Structure formats: C-alpha cells, structure tokens
Amino acid sequence: MSISSPLFNCQQATLLVERRADEVLPINTRVQLWAHLRLCPYCRRYEVQSALIARQAKIAAQTRVVTEAALSASARARIQQVLDTSGPLPR
C-alpha cells in the first residue's frame, strides 16, 4: 500500500494493523502506522481488540471439540414429540 500522506486515516490504519499480523510492513509504513496509533485512541483500542481476538481464535482452533455428544433417549423422544405436535415450519 502506498500512501503519500504522513499519517493514515483510521480505515487505512486498521487495515494495516490486520496486515501487520500476516506480513512484515515496509519501514516507512510501520513508522506512519506507529505515529497514527500514538495519536488515535480508537485505532489503539482496535489494535488491542484485534490481538485479543486473534489469540482467542488461535486457542479455539487448537481446542479439541467433542464430536460424539449424544442426546439421551428421553431427550430425543421429547424433541420428537414437540416436532410432531408443532406441525410444519412456516416458510
């Protein structure tokens, strides 16, 4: 991304915060982003929240999910009874 102004607008800064997670930004872009983040409390908050979401997503991706969860026979019967008595779903 080539930006000629000395500081980014917030839309550009948040895009670069996300890009920075995946690639090394050119030094001039990093400096401009650093300057924007020092001046803009909203983008600083976005940066912190983005990092938190990325960490939580990584943890969630590494968490083992139980795929063999099963309902008891009585629970299945209760659900089936509700489905049978409620009629067709509206379209």
pLDDT in tens, 37-65: 999 999 999 999 999 999 999 998 888 77
Tell me, yes or no, whether 91 lies in a domain: no
Between 77 and 66, name the one with better pLDDT: 77
Q: pLDDT tier at 1 (50, 70, 90 boundaries)?
A: very low
Between 6 and 74, name the one with better pLDDT: 74
Tell me, yes or no, whether 24 lies in a domain: yes
Whole-number Å distance between alpha carbons of 37 and 48: 11
| Cβ count near 44 (within 10 Å) | 15
Orientation of helix 41-62 relative to helix 27-39, angle to 10°: 110
Provide the domain limits for residue 65.
Answer: 10-85
Q: Quote the number of domains for the chain.
A: 1
Whole-number Å distance between alpha carbons of 21 and 29: 14
Are the C-beta atoms of 30 and 45 separated by less than 8 Å?
A: no
Tell me, yes or no, whether 68 lies in a domain: yes
Task: State residue 69's pLDDT score.
Answer: 75
Tell me, yes or no, whether 49 lies in a domain: yes
Whole-number Å distance between alpha carbons of 47 and 75: 45
